[in-house]
Amino acid sequence: MKKVLILLIFPFLVMSCGDIDDQTQIQTINLRVNQSDWIESTDNDGKNRYYSCSFFMPEITPAVYEYGSVQAYVTFDNTQQVMPYVRHYEDINGNRWTRTVDYDYSEGNLIVYVTNSDFIIDPPETMTFRVVLMWQD
């Protein structure tokens, strides 16, 4: 009886998956932030320093924003890491900190943030990112 049930359900699963794949749109955008492009920011008390860079992205349409997905990756030496990217570091003097790279987006805009847990003035290096937009037509 189970085999018959599986044989009856399987064609519907295959048909529904085919419909979804035919409607899915994907667009990939590569971004670069030069070291000089990072904007330093702090809170109102001059604490909690972070760096950001804003991108005008008309590709993030109302349809993508409302019904789709925006996924961003930071790229290093031919590898990609999904954001948020969190890594722990230690220098030769034993100083330790954590770097977090994350993002947010709205219609037509994407902002990338870099925050070091020690909040020392240390602008990020030039960084590259890959943004993947997915939505249904």
Q: What is the CATH number of the domain that holds 94?
A: 2.60.40.2080
pLDDT at 52: 97
pLDDT at 4: 46
> Is the pLDDT reported for residue 119 higher than 60?
yes
Domain carrying residue 100: 24-136
Residues 50 and 41 sit within 8 Å (Cβ to Cβ): yes
Q: b/e per residue, 99-112, with b = 16+ CB within 10 A? A: bebbbebeeeebeb
Give domain status of residue 47, yes or no.
yes
pLDDT digits (tens, 9 = 90+) for 75-95: 998 899 999 999 999 999 999
Identify the band that residue 9 occupies on the pLDDT scale cut at 50, 70 and 90.
low
Which of 60, 45, 39 lies closest to 123 in space, CA to CA? 39
pTM of the predicted structure, to 2 decimals: 0.80
Total structural domains within the chain: 1
Give domain status of residue 18, yes or no.
no
pLDDT digits (tens, 9 = 90+) for 20-53: 556 889 999 999 999 999 999 998 998 899 999 9
Q: Which residues share a beta bridge with 98?
A: 88
Report the distance separating Cα 55 and Cα 96, nearest Å.
31
Report the distance separating Cα 28 and Cα 60, nearest Å.
11
Q: Can you read off the two tokens belonging to residue 101?
A: 């790279």
Give domain status of residue 14, yes or no.
no
Q: Which residues share a beta bridge with 53?
A: 112
